[in-house]
């Protein structure tokens, strides 16, 4: 049993903590893991404007556990596009992945994230981004399940004019548990944030989306919007969606909303009367629902990769 993974795992709260009430780590903490070599690296320096693709292996051996840390720091004014493809194997394993991002003044980082852990992989992933003056951070992700997958995305808008966009599709397979928690801290005035998440939840799967936006004292003129829309595809599907807004400034514009429903029966019928069979009609509506978020991926190879991974979930 490794010191590092064990220590990192032990440091995480239990279910009594509000932010972890739906995701119980006790079974993972109780297991014996075989420590694997992890990483602690700076990702490529991003010279030039070409998108950089980084594949991250989450695990390859049964009972293996690895601690992965990636850091990215953008200089003032630097622009970069990173495609992060996180892949698991088909053995029962654990990955803890930390992503530490720092955007200096006026920098812009666009992160396209395709997370494909596999049905037996447990993943605890945490992203911390610090966004400087007038800097822009964008993250569009496809979160395609995992035995148990927990994603924390913490973004701090630390200086005036900082901007963040977090968008994502949660697509667990039947039997999987997928938890995404976002936290956006507006700590300075004139910040702007946008969040849109969509959940497609099949039978016996569980999706959790918790989006917290905090507008701190002094963060005047903050402009923030957050939406989460969920489709429950079967009896026995479960989603826990909670947008949360805490505002400690008095001159801000903030909106949030959540919807939850099923596939539109009228639309399914209409498509069938035109000749599409029921599975094809369902796939078309689900694909459309998800692509309205994933089409925000402006880099074509990454968008196509996301569409392919999504297709396996429909």
Find tokens 């923030």 and name the residue. Answer: 224
* 247 touching another protein, by CB under 8 A: no
* 300 touching another protein, by CB under 8 A: no
Q: Residue 132: CB partners within 8 Å, gap ≥ 6? A: 76, 102, 103, 104, 105, 106, 107, 158, 159, 162
Nearer to another protein, 14 or 277 (CB): 277
Nearer to another protein, 27 or 275 (CB): 275
Residues 164, 110: Cα–Cα separation, whole Å: 10
Cβ burial, residue 55 (10 Å; 0-12/13-18/19+): exposed
* 273 touching another protein, by CB under 8 A: yes
* 271 touching another protein, by CB under 8 A: yes
CB of 287 to another protein, least distance (A): 9
Terminal-residue alpha carbon distance, the chain: 38
Q: Where are the beta strands (DSSP E) in 158-252?
A: 163-170, 177-186, 192-201, 206-215, 223-232, 238-247
* 274 touching another protein, by CB under 8 A: yes
The residue within the footprint of another protein, chosen from 104, 203, 263, 291 (CB under 8 A), is 291
Find tokens 């396209």 and name the residue. Answer: 112
- Report residue 103 as tokens: 């955007």
* 289 touching another protein, by CB under 8 A: yes
* 304 touching another protein, by CB under 8 A: no
3 state DSSP class of 254: strand
* 277 touching another protein, by CB under 8 A: yes
* Max CA distance (Å), the chain: 60
* 263 touching another protein, by CB under 8 A: no
The residue within the footprint of another protein, chosen from 288, 298, 301, 308 (CB under 8 A), is 288
Compute how many residues bind another protein; rule: CB under 8 A.
Answer: 22
The residue within the footprint of another protein, chosen from 41, 55, 62, 270 (CB under 8 A), is 270
Determine phi and psi for 7, rounding to 5 degrees. Answer: -65, -45
* 197 touching another protein, by CB under 8 A: no
* 284 touching another protein, by CB under 8 A: yes
Determine phi and psi for 151, rounding to 5 degrees. Answer: -120, 125
Q: Which residues pair with 169 in a beta bridge?
A: 142, 198
Interface with another protein by CB under 8 A: which range of 15-23, 96-104, 242-250, 289-297?
289-297
For helices 300-311 and 278-294, angle between their N-to-C axes, nearest 10 degrees:
150
CB of 114 to another protein, least distance (A): 21
For residue 75, what is the DSSP state? Answer: P
* 276 touching another protein, by CB under 8 A: yes
The residue within the footprint of another protein, chosen from 1, 7, 55, 278 (CB under 8 A), is 278
Residues 102, 158: Cα–Cα separation, whole Å: 11
Interface with another protein by CB under 8 A: which range of 16-24, 122-130, 198-206, 283-291?
283-291
Nearer to another protein, 1 or 280 (CB): 280
Binding site for another protein (CB under 8 A): 264-267, 269-278, 280-281, 284-285, 288-289, 291-292
């Amino acid at each position: 049993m490794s010191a590092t993974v064990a220590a990192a795992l032990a440091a995480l709260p239990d279910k009594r903590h509000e932010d972890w009430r739906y995701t119980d780590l006790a079974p993972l903490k109780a297991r014996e893991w075989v420590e694997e070599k992890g990483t602690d690296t700076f990702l490529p320096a991003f010279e030039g404007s070409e998108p950089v693709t980084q594949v991250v292996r989450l695990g390859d051996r049964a009972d293996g556990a690895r601690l992965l840390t990636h850091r990215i720091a953008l200089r003032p004014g630097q622009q970069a596009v990173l495609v992060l493809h996180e892949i698991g194997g088909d053995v029962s394993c654990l990955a803890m992945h930390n992503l530490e991002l720092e955007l200096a003044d006026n920098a812009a980082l666009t992160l396209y994230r395709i997370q494909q852990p596999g049905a037996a992989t447990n993943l605890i992933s945490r992203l911390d981004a610090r966004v400087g003056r007038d800097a822009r951070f964008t993250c569009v992700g496809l979160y395609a399940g995992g035995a148990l997958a927990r994603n924390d995305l913490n973004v701090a808008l630390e200086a005036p004019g900082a901007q963040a966009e977090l968008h994502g599709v949660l697509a667990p397979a039947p039997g999987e548990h997928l938890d995404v928690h976002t936290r956006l801290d507006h700590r300075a005035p004139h910040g702007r944030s946008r969040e849109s998440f969509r959940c497609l939840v099949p039978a016996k799967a569980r999706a959790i989306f918790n989006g917290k936006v905090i507008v701190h004292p002094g963060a005047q003129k903050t402009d923030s919007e957050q939406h989460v829309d969920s489709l429950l595809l079967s009896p026995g599907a479960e989603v826990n969606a909670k947008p949360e807004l805490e505002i400690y400034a008095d001159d801000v514009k903030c909106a949030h909303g959540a919807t939850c429903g099923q596939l539109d029966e009228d639309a399914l019928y209409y498509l069938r009367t035109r000749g599409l069979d029921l599975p094809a009609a369902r796939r078309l509506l689900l694909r459309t629902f998800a692509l309205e978020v994933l089409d925000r991926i402006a880099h074509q190879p990454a968008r196509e990769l996301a569409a392919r991974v999504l297709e396996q979930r429909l």
